[in-house]
Structure 1
Amino acid sequence: MSQTYSLQKSAKTDNEKKKSIKSIAIVGCGFVADYYLKTLPLHSGIQLVGVMDRNCDRASNFATYHGISHIYNSLEELLDDDRVDIVLNLTNPSSHYSVSLACLKAGKHVYSEKPLAMEMWQAEELATLAQQKGLYLSSAPCSLLGETAQTIWKALRENQLGTVRLVYAEMDDGLIHQMPYQKWVSESGIPWPYKDEFEVGCTLEHAGYYVTWLTAFFGPAETVTAFSSCLIPDKQTDVPLDINAPDFSVACIKFASGVVARLTCSIVAPHDHSLRIIGDRGILGIHDSWFYGTPVYIRRSINIGRKRLEGVWKQRYPLVKKAPKLGYRGAQQMDFCRGVAEMAEAIVNDRPCRLSTAFSLHNNELVLAIHNSLETGCTYKMTTSFETIEPMPWAK
């Protein structure tokens, strides 16, 4: 039986309701934290009051580089700070549950890096606690709130494709273990955490970039039939891997709306982040979901004589608005702070955030079902659901 977690309104004083800026604190000053700091200035509704990391030197170096005035000596000290409204949980995935649990128990709203939790029972416990305490709990990725995703969603609402039948989504990143990943460092000098990345697996790390889009566009998933495999157990790392996580997965997802999607995720196949949405009247496509300003195209088909030519008429569908220039290189051209900023705005306005607890929980369940098919390899029936999400105001 499906369960839906509804967000209770936070108990706020009149003064708190008037507060238009929410204070955040970061737990975890690793590789991804630099990307959040890079886009923090884009959002006037949130301000950083301090950071904490279990590695004191890492926290100190991070704070020095970014000019952050306060470093917490412990998680307990951070949670005792009444200034902190939202905790940004950027720890490694194995710590997401314990850190988020402590924050919720302390009465703090939580925005967590993906996944929400490594086990479904953990994610459910977090969701239940957040509901009981009237707190906001949300999870990355937030690219659904980006210009490209919102543009696709608008085209679908306008029925540009007619009835949507099928979706092909690719999230392949190439042979990562053969790349010079030991040279990858963040802006403040943090090495890419390759041991964590390989042990967590590409599905839990990256499938959410499309899963969040698909569930928002087409509603809750009903079932997922998945297969995953560790094709390259020896990633040739200089330290042994304790877990051989899937480096390839493929899933067929059936949504309550009737749409079926095939999602492929790997760190084996050549780089491909493309999306194709196939409808009766056309095919909508993009080349890369990681860029907030990726162009959106619609291809129309025509009949000539006794033949049907598929997708020969290519039409650019205009973005709902221009994406911001984020000023850094490579694939990580995403506004990482947009999710926590949207949560902060929701708290101020006493409304549910778009990346709600129920939405995050449903996507966590779906991604875990795909990841765990290494052991189960069967059709999984979803147990969670969520209420319809509102598009961004500027995309309606």
Structure 2
Amino acid sequence: MSKTGIGVIGCGNISQKYMTAMRQFPNIELRAVADMRQSVADVRGREFNVPAMRVDQLLKRDDVEIVVNLTVPLAHTDVSLAVLNAGKHVHSEKPLGVNVAEARKVMDLAAQKNLRVGCAPDTFLGGGHQTARKLIDDGAIGTPVAGSAFFMCPGHERWHPAPGFYYLRGGGPMLDMGPYYITDLIQLLGPIASVMGSVSTPRKERLVTSEPMNGEMIPVEVATHVAGTLEFVSGALVTIAMSFDVPKHRHTPIEIYGTKGSILVPDPNRFGGEVQVAKLGGDFEAMPTTHGNAEGEYRSIGVADMAAAIQNNRPHRASGALALHALEAMEAFQTSSDEGRRVKLETIVERPAMLPPGLPTGQLD
């Protein structure tokens, strides 16, 4: 199997998970890393035994075909455009851009240059979520008619060493955590037709309690509690809430309700987890996992799938089109709240293909 060369721009917290996970996929190989802070790139380079260099140097390497963009949200668009202008495919951390207008620049340039765009999250390709997908497609709960999706916590300033960006433009609970939930819902239920939402920002500053910034106040520029309804093209209605303002709650991450039963979907920020189904009139029961990649950290499976898709001339699953559709839905909550109306989405996307059941970990086709 030929290996596709991978470069990484952005060597912060999440990069270690990506680079570690890359080792599990035989069709990709990490070739170089870069960061605007050379010292940070040097640390990752030594850790993974690859060259650490400037961004412009990485973009000139002939042995790098896909660049993984792991910069902060405000830099996603500029870095992705630079990657595409260098003639390389790009896979970005979420969100694809801080707004739809920025993300469209990436998609338009990729189309002009006949290059591919991928985007996190790729957790929906994990065994727990693919198992849920197969059960729904096989009619285990009948026709899906409704659902719920909840992520609510007190905020990331409790644990992250540099949490400020979570509260600036491009951050907030919807753009930070919403991609996991909404992307998974799209792969389970299909495209979204419209959004109705309400948002609030209870505090204009947040007190950091993590180290090394313990005791510092950080400004808040975005809504920190977002709630509303997603109406899917299929007709299913999903209630959703994303919040950095909730001390504790008891909601499960995702539930889908059908005409013949209900399904509990695992945490979409994880690849594995137990799937439970309750038939009409019955209790919830754990379902056997039908897919590999069930447990553990696979936060490069979307990159590996893109590489396989390029080699086999097929669509890749964690695509820019999927990310753009999810981003438009997330942006619509603020628009709906500001304007007091239902927002109909302009983008449309097909559900990404389900992974074939029964494949061993690391295999995609």
Same fold by TM (over 0.5)?
yes
What's the counterpart of residue 347 of structure 1? 310
Separation (CA, whole Å) in 2 of partners of 1:377 and 1:245: 18
Kindly provide the CA deviation profile for residues 176-202 of structure 1, in whole angstroms up to 9, marking residues without a partner as x: 2673x2xx5xxxxxxx33011232111
For 1:323-362, list aligned pairs within 5 A.
323=293, 325-326=295-296, 334-362=297-325
Contact 2:173 2:243 in 1 (8 A): yes
Contact 2:150 2:241 in 1 (8 A): yes
Separation (CA, whole Å) in 2 of partners of 1:241 and 1:161: 45
Separation (CA, whole Å) in 1 of partners of 2:295 and 2:275: 18
**Aligned counterpart for 2:102 among listed residues 122, 130, 144:** 122
**Aligned counterpart for 1:69 among listed residues 32, 50, 58:** 50
4+ long deviations beyond 4 Å:
371-374
Separation (CA, whole Å) in 2 of partners of 1:110 and 1:244: 28
AA paired with 1:258? G
Q: Does 1:315 align with 2:285?
A: yes
AA paired with 1:290? N
**Aligned counterpart for 2:86 among listed residues 99, 103, 106:** 106
- TM-score, reference length from structure 2: 0.90
Separation (CA, whole Å) in 1 of partners of 2:252 and 2:63: 40
What's the counterpart of residue 267 of structure 1? 244
**Aligned counterpart for 2:346 among listed residues 383, 387, 396:** 383
Contact 1:227 1:378 in 2 (8 A): no
What's the counterpart of residue 211 of structure 1? 182
AA paired with 1:213? D
Q: 1:318 Cα deviation (Å)?
A: 1.3
What's the counterpart of residue 267 of structure 2? 288
What's the counterpart of residue 197 of structure 1? 166
What's the counterpart of residue 212 of structure 2? none
Q: Does 1:161 align with 2:132?
A: no
Separation (CA, whole Å) in 2 of partners of 1:148 and 1:177: 25
Return 122-131 or 279-288, whichever deviates more: 279-288
Q: 1:255 Cα deviation (Å)?
A: 1.0
Structure 2 gaps of 5+ residues are 209-214, 360-365
Contact 1:177 1:235 in 2 (8 A): no
SS at match of 2:354: coil
Q: How many residues get paired?
A: 349
Contact 1:224 1:370 in 2 (8 A): yes
Separation (CA, whole Å) in 2 of partners of 1:233 and 1:382: 30
What's the counterpart of residue 9 of structure 2? 27
What's the counterpart of residue 188 of structure 1? none
Contact 2:22 2:300 in 1 (8 A): yes
Separation (CA, whole Å) in 2 of partners of 1:153 and 1:122: 31
CA distance change for structure 1 residues 193 and 335 in 2, over 3 Å: closer, same or farther? farther
Q: 1:232 Cα deviation (Å)?
A: 2.8
Q: 1:57 Cα deviation (Å)?
A: 1.2
SS at match of 1:290: coil
What's the counterpart of residue 11 of structure 1? none
Separation (CA, whole Å) in 2 of partners of 1:216 and 1:116: 17
Separation (CA, whole Å) in 1 of partners of 2:292 and 2:304: 19
CA RMSD in angstroms comes to 2.0
Separation (CA, whole Å) in 2 of partners of 1:393 and 1:107: 31
Contact 2:33 2:45 in 1 (8 A): yes
Return 197-206 or 375-384, whichever deviates more: 375-384
AA paired with 1:56? Q
AA paired with 1:37? M
Separation (CA, whole Å) in 2 of partners of 1:290 and 1:134: 31
Kindly provide the CA deviation profile for residues 336-387 of structure 1, in whole angstroms up to 9, marking residues without a partner as x: 1111111111111121111223222111211222255564453211011123
CA distance change for structure 1 residues 371 and 147 in 2, over 3 Å: closer, same or farther? farther
Separation (CA, whole Å) in 2 of partners of 1:87 and 1:177: 28
Separation (CA, whole Å) in 1 of partners of 2:39 and 2:337: 38
Contact 1:20 1:348 in 2 (8 A): no
SS at match of 1:343: helix
User: Which has more radius of gyration?
Assistant: 1
- TM-score, reference length from structure 1: 0.83
**Aligned counterpart for 2:41 among listed residues 47, 59, 75:** 59
AA paired with 1:138? G
Q: 1:289 Cα deviation (Å)?
A: 2.8
Kindly provide the CA deviation profile for residues 105-163 of structure 1, in whole angstroms up to 9, marking residues without a partner as x: 11110000000001211111111111121111011000111111111110111111112
Kindly provide the CA deviation profile for residues 45-74 of structure 1, in whole angstroms up to 9, marking residues without a partner as x: 11111110001111112222x13331122x
SS at match of 2:78: helix
Separation (CA, whole Å) in 2 of partners of 1:41 and 1:177: 29
AA paired with 1:93? P
CA distance change for structure 1 residues 41 and 349 in 2, over 3 Å: closer, same or farther? same
SS at match of 1:123: helix
Return 368-377 or 48-57, whichever deviates more: 368-377
SS at match of 2:256: strand
Q: 1:389 Cα deviation (Å)?
A: 2.3
AA paired with 1:57? S
Separation (CA, whole Å) in 1 of partners of 2:358 and 2:75: 35
